[in-house]
Chains A and B, each alone.
Chain A
Amino acid sequence: MFKLSGYNFKFCILFQIIFVLFFSISAFAAGEQKRVQKHDWTFAGIFGHYDDAQLQRGFQVYREVCSSCHSMNYVYYRNLAEEGGPGFTVEEVKVIASEDMIIDGPDDYGEMFERPGKPSDTFVSPYANQNEARASNGGAYPPDFSVLAKARSTLRGFPWWFVDLFTGYQEQGVDYIYALLNGYSEPPDDFILQSGMHYNEYYPGNQIAMGQPLYEESVEYADGTAASVEQMAEDVSAFMMWAAEPKLEIRKQMGFKVAIFLFVLAGLLYYSKKKIWARIEH
């Protein structure tokens, strides 16, 4: 064993470890939850950016379907007009906000009152509190959508979790949401579904309290896009990604400037280093 040279030895060991890990994972990963497929998103990758029209459609789906149960407590109406968002104008946002009624107060007489929303309000919540939300949904709490796209993931397994570090794949959460919305089907014959639950092939354990939320033509898109389930699922998933990561575009753009700066600086320092070290033998 000690006759191997250092290099060969290292590679031998590394190779064996990787080999064993890879197979142990493939063997263990065979659960019942279906693998989520990678979807094509405009905001993925280093050049990623949101598609305004898609975010506007997604917002429409959220508003007309999801918002009857799901809150979005950290998102403000004003965000809809901000850079890197769905691209509504300030005027449009004022109208959108005013369509929701906000409970405000107390006023000078100590009373709470209702008023139309303003851009500086957060999205109005469908329920007064978590208890009411549970009571209205058979005990299940419909999670807040604000950061949900970052709070969900998919099982990647080896070697993908390692590859993801260097490909910048950060869309596991939104891939999962898209898959889930398309994942409703009749349960297999031998599957015992509890009452009030629904079968979904992507949900952990395959039983989800939320009934299928999207059907053909659930919404009538303002821009005339055909509202298939896949289309709506894709649009609302993208909208949720924006809600969770509203600074994604500015982040990636700034990343490019920083990278260019650092590469130039590294180049200058490399040649400075070479020049200085040329003075001595090394």
Chain B
Amino acid sequence: MSKESTYIPKSGFSKWFDQRLPLPRMLHDNINAFPTPRNLNYWYTFGGILTFCLVTQIVTGIVLAMHYTADAGLAFASVEHIMRNVNYGWLIRYIHAVGASMFFLAVYVHIFRGLYYGSYKAPREILWILGVVIYLLMVITAFMGYVLPWGQMSFWGATVITNLFSVIPVVGTTITEWLWGGFAVDNATLKRFFSLHYLMPFMIFGVVILHIWSLHVTGNNNPVGVSVKEKQDTVPFAPYYTVKDAFSLVCFLILFAWFIFFNPNILGHTDNYIMADPLVTPAHIVPEWYLLPFYAILRAIPSKLGGVLVMGAAIAILFILPWLDTSKVRSATFRPLYKQFYWIFVVNCIALGYLGSQNPEGLFLVASRICTAYYFIHFLLVLPILGLVEKPKPIPESITKAVLEKMEIRNMKEKSAEA
């Protein structure tokens, strides 16, 4: 959807500037005037929220790095120094720590919105794949960030995850030791994790730019999943979606603030307030909540190598999702069967998260295996077959028709309520 530019430079200076670097033109066309489907609901505001989260993490992270010391002997104390002695250090650290959880909360809403409305389907495959790349980078960044306070969970989490690489045949041990920079998780590991934790958000930022670029080429998907056909299907991004995104963002910030100011430690593990001790293993080693589903998958498989492969496949399968779903209809609104399987899948993911927090024994292990199997069944069997057997509901001709129809129904309901 390459569009003609609507930017008109007003002053002599902006004309002069536009001929040399059309940056204001680019911003105008992509932010102010960008034609956006008129029917986007609040689930579509999470892209903006995620951008905000990324910037918040980068800004607070830069300030934290001014006071943090990446050294196995000093890291834990330097975090306490930030909490106690740095001006508003407690606030900056809590924003950063809670911010990681909020970032993942938002990204999960964003991903599941994409799954519901079929946003990964043609012509948005690249857009979706870039999103999965961002998510993968987020997972790695968050994992490395969690190691930095050098608490017990930091240390043992790092030990468990880096050890996963040792299952690679022949070169596994070599790779693991190369990652550690030694023969165990230690000072060298902490220092490189810090360095990479600082680098990766900027890589994420780069991929986010590609993600938005791709979005602006294909245009937004929308809740009815019908492509934009005429001008009246869209509204300019500003002011319609700037104000809607802003309102949604502030609502999200209320939740964010609740955790920062009134419940800052509930999303973390208490053991991380104990300094790392290689000689004492915690009773239960668990990752942060947002990685629990993958942890459940890892531990559901009886072999170590198998567990690692299946866990990797759980993310890798998202890359080929656009070609697994055989249905031409995008939105679940018009797919009665998919809608039900979608919700089963959501519950299955939540169940995996819960199982990841429990010891893999007895009923929990059985449940983990069933849920893991279903996770893959959803992608490999349900989605391909559903597209072939499902009879979609009638699809509206255009976005505008869908909007007007919805309005009519609403008006009729109001009238009957009055009568």
Contact = CB atoms under 8 A, between A and B. Distances in A.
A246 B85 CA distance: 10
A280 B347 contact: no
Contact of B80 (A46, A147, A262): A147
Contact of B263 (A165, A247, A262): A165
A79 interface: yes
Interface in A249-282: 251-252, 254-256, 258-259, 262-263, 265-266, 269-270, 272-273, 276-277, 280-282
B84 A262 contact: no
Contacts of A140: none
A128 interface: no
Contacts of A246: 84
A9 B343 contact: yes
Nearest to B354: A21
Nearest to B85: A76
Contacts of A256: 261
Interface in A28-84: 28, 46, 73-74, 76, 79
Contacts of A277: 240, 244
Nearest to B90: A247
Interface string A139-157: 0000100111011110000
Interface stretch (A10-18, A96-104, A188-196): A10-18
A110 interface: no
B90 A74 contact: no
Contact of B270 (A152, A165, A269): A152
B262 A46 contact: yes
Nearest to A149: B273
Interface stretch (B65-73, B172-180, B250-258): B250-258
B51 interface: no
Contact of A269 (B247, B339, B347): B247
A168 B263 contact: yes
A24 interface: yes
B80 A272 contact: no
Interface in A121-140: none
Contacts of A244: 273
B380 to A, nearest CB: 21
Interface in B226-268: 235, 239-240, 243-244, 246-247, 250-251, 253-254, 257-258, 260-266
A212 to B, nearest CB: 24
Contact of A266 (B84, B251, B350, B364): B251
B340 interface: yes
Contacts of A273: 243-244, 247
A171 B337 CA distance: 46
Nearest to A73: B77
Q: Is the interface of B mostly helix, strand, loop or mixed?
A: helix
A9 B91 CA distance: 43
A266 B254 contact: yes
Q: Which of A21, A153, A259, A282 has the most CB of B within 10 A?
A: A282
A228 to B, nearest CB: 28
Contacts of A165: 263, 266
Q: Which of A165, A251, A273 has the most CB of B within 10 A?
A: A273
B254 A263 contact: yes
Contact of B343 (A13, A173, A204, A272): A13
B39 A282 contact: yes
A178 B69 CA distance: 34
B407 interface: yes
Contacts of A153: 270
Contact of A262 (B39, B253, B264, B351): B253
A2 interface: yes
A34 to B, nearest CB: 17
B83 A259 contact: no
A177 to B, nearest CB: 12
Contacts of B23: none
A276 B274 contact: no
A168 B262 contact: yes
Contacts of B273: 147-148, 150-151, 244
A269 B80 contact: no
Interface string B137-169: 000000000000000000000000000000000
B256 to A, nearest CB: 9
A6 interface: yes
Interface string B85-128: 00000110010000000000000000000000000000000000
B344 interface: yes
Report, nearest first, the 10 A-B pairs whose CB atoms are least far apart: A255-B261, A151-B273, A269-B247, A153-B270, A168-B262, A266-B250, A150-B273, A247-B90, A147-B273, A74-B80
23 contacts: A2-B337, A6-B343, A24-B364, A74-B84, A79-B84, A146-B80, A147-B273, A150-B273, A151-B270, A170-B263, A172-B270, A246-B84, A247-B90, A251-B91, A251-B94, A254-B91, A259-B257, A259-B258, A265-B250, A270-B247, A276-B240, A277-B244, A282-B407
Interface of B: 38-39, 77, 80-81, 83-84, 90-91, 94, 235, 239-240, 243-244, 246-247, 250-251, 253-254, 257-258, 260-266, 270-271, 273-274, 283, 336-337, 339-340, 343-344, 347, 350-351, 354, 362-364, 403-404, 407
